[in-house]
Amino acid sequence: MKNLARTLDSLDFLKLDRRTFMKAVGALGATAFLGTYKTDIVNALELAETKLVWLHGSECTGCSESLLNGGNPDIAQALTKLKVNLAFHETICAQQGIWNDGKLVNTSELNSEILLEDLYKEGNYILVVEGSIPNGPQGSGKYLMIGNKTFKESLGEAAKNAAAIVAVGACACWGGITNAASDVEKDTDYRGVAYKKTDASKGMLKELGIDKPVINIPGCPAHPDWILLTLGAVILGKIKIPDDLGDVLDEYGRPKVFFPPDHTVHENCPRRGYYDRGEFDEQVGDQHCLWKLGCKAPYAHADCGIRRWNGSVSMCTQAGGPCINCVDPGFPDSSRPLYVEAEDEGIAGTNIDTVAKVAVGAAAVAAGVHAVRRMKGE
């Protein structure tokens, strides 16, 4: 990683083509990227200032907490280097929404609702949405009211004049946990900005009649690097919207550099060696492969194993928790039951026990599975 940073440091940042740039930010991470190119970023942005409007729907604020927990750079350092004006973020804004006899009062400095209305009129901001959007009951959106207005309506107002739209977290991307199968699912009708689970025809923007591309950064929560580096690429013009999105994003609108279609968390899992030797944990707290405890890493297309979390020192499986594939469009339903082995599924569509019997035996189950993958050309 250090050698890569030195190599990229010798290149002219401003002349990097989009593909090279995306590879660089994907490999370096936010810390090295912002540190290596600090001067170039300032020169590229000159006196420009990018406004960021960050809206919260139905969620736990976990993605904002993930971003705020980014240590180096922290959110303040990142925003400063990228010359971003965080014009609105409900969790950390100081303004209050004040109503008097049903009317907004005071100024945008004291009233967040007036501030938002002013920002919508000015336009030319990057809209970040965290959390899902309820369409219920009966299409009214009234299951979430903020400032005497449905969040569904607020999203529509914000999206119309946005220069770019980024959905952060599983809830904003496809409904996430709020859209899990339940007795009230049809009544609440929670949706993501551009998708409802895997259905692009039921995204909230489609419901509102707004035709704009959306960059999805899923996860529960999303990694700080995924958020910062995607925003950085958009701000610096290395991802041109909508021209570049077909090459940069996968079929579900996720940046392929962070959610590679041809790579899974399993391939770089710290416990991969145990899998290859067929050594599986039967209870939580042991040190071997977590497959039999419900690990979904073989189906999770994300770079967690390379990027790591918490200052790049750990990740779910390293800490003893099975991967729950929180980046999947069907999450959480597609991952349930979370901590139970998917007995009828295996790597490359092959049942693990079957492969063990016909290939190299139970002790080398993983080697047999990967042999199947190689024969399939995967």
The pLDDT tens digits of the residues spanning 75-85 come to: 777 777 777 88
User: Which pLDDT value is given to residue 35?
Assistant: 64
**Mean pLDDT in residue range 346-364:** 44
Q: In terms of Cα–Cα distance, which of 212, 238, 200, 235 is closest to 48?
A: 235
Does position 365 have pLDDT exceeding 70, yes or no? no
> What is the C-alpha to C-alpha distance for residues 282 and 41, in angstroms, rounded to an integer?
50
DSSP structure class, residue 84? E
User: Which pLDDT value is given to residue 16?
Assistant: 67
Does position 34 have pLDDT exceeding 90, yes or no? no
Quick: pLDDT tens for 264-286. 999 999 999 999 999 999 998 99
**205 Cβ neighbours under 8 A, 6+ residues apart:** 155, 159, 165, 193, 194, 211, 212, 214
Structure tokens at 23: 């590879």
**Mean pLDDT in residue range 117-133:** 94
Question: Going by DSSP bridges, is the β-strand pair 162-168/125-130 parallel, antiparallel, or unpaired?
Answer: parallel
Q: Is the peptide bond before 73 cis (omega within 30 degrees of 0)?
A: yes
Does position 126 have pLDDT exceeding 80, yes or no? yes
Does position 7 have pLDDT exceeding 60, yes or no? no
Q: What percent of the chain has pLDDT over 90?
A: 53
User: Which pLDDT value is given to residue 49?
Assistant: 77
Most confident of 39-43, 132-136, 232-236: 132-136
Does position 360 have pLDDT exceeding 50, yes or no? no
User: Which pLDDT value is given to residue 359?
Assistant: 33
Domains of the chain: 2-248 (3.40.50.700), 265-375 (4.10.480.10)
Quick: pLDDT tens for 171-205. 999 999 999 999 999 999 999 999 999 999 999 99
Q: What percent of the chain has pLDDT over 70?
A: 77
> What is the C-alpha to C-alpha distance for residues 245 and 34, in angstroms, rounded to an integer?
23
> What is the C-alpha to C-alpha distance for residues 369 and 331, in angstroms, rounded to an integer?
25
Structure tokens at 286: 């042991």
Does position 371 have pLDDT exceeding 50, yes or no? no
> What is the C-alpha to C-alpha distance for residues 311 and 81, in angstroms, rounded to an integer?
19
pLDDT class of 96 with cuts at 50, 70, 90? confident
User: Which pLDDT value is given to residue 310?
Assistant: 86
> What is the C-alpha to C-alpha distance for residues 91 and 67, in angstroms, rounded to an integer?
12
Task: Give, in order, the Cα–Cα distances in Å from 116 to each of 5, 6, 110, 304.
Answer: 40, 43, 12, 35
> What is the C-alpha to C-alpha distance for residues 311 and 317, in angstroms, rounded to an integer?
16
pTM for the structure as a whole: 0.83
**Mean pLDDT in residue range 52-80:** 84
> What is the C-alpha to C-alpha distance for residues 290 and 317, in angstroms, rounded to an integer?
7
Say if residues 348 and 360 touch (Cβ distance below 8 Å).
no
Q: In terms of C-beta distances under 8 Å and separation of at least 24 residues, what long-range contacts does 17-26 make, across chains too?
A: 18/238, 18/239, 18/240, 18/244, 18/247, 18/248, 19/247, 21/233, 21/238, 22/233, 22/238, 22/239, 22/248, 22/255, 22/257, 23/257, 25/229, 25/232, 25/233, 25/257, 26/229, 26/257, 26/258, 26/303
Does position 309 have pLDDT exceeding 50, yes or no? yes
> What is the C-alpha to C-alpha distance for residues 378 and 374, in angstroms, rounded to an integer?
6
Buried b (16+ CB within 10 A) or exposed e, 14-24: eebebeebbeb
Q: Among 3-7, 16-20, 354-358, where is mean pLDDT lowest?
A: 354-358
Question: Going by DSSP bridges, is the β-strand pair 103-104/125-130 parallel, antiparallel, or unpaired?
Answer: unpaired
**Mean pLDDT in residue range 38-47:** 58
Does position 361 have pLDDT exceeding 50, yes or no? no
Place of tokens 């007995």: 343
User: Which pLDDT value is given to residue 39?
Assistant: 60
> What is the C-alpha to C-alpha distance for residues 153 and 339, in angstroms, rounded to an integer?
38
> What is the C-alpha to C-alpha distance for residues 266 and 345, in angstroms, rounded to an integer?
15
Does position 90 have pLDDT exceeding 70, yes or no? yes
User: Regarding predicted confidence, which is higher, 350 or 135?
Assistant: 135
> What is the C-alpha to C-alpha distance for residues 325 and 314, in angstroms, rounded to an integer?
16
Structure tokens at 342: 């998917």
User: Regarding predicted confidence, which is higher, 152 or 351?
Assistant: 152
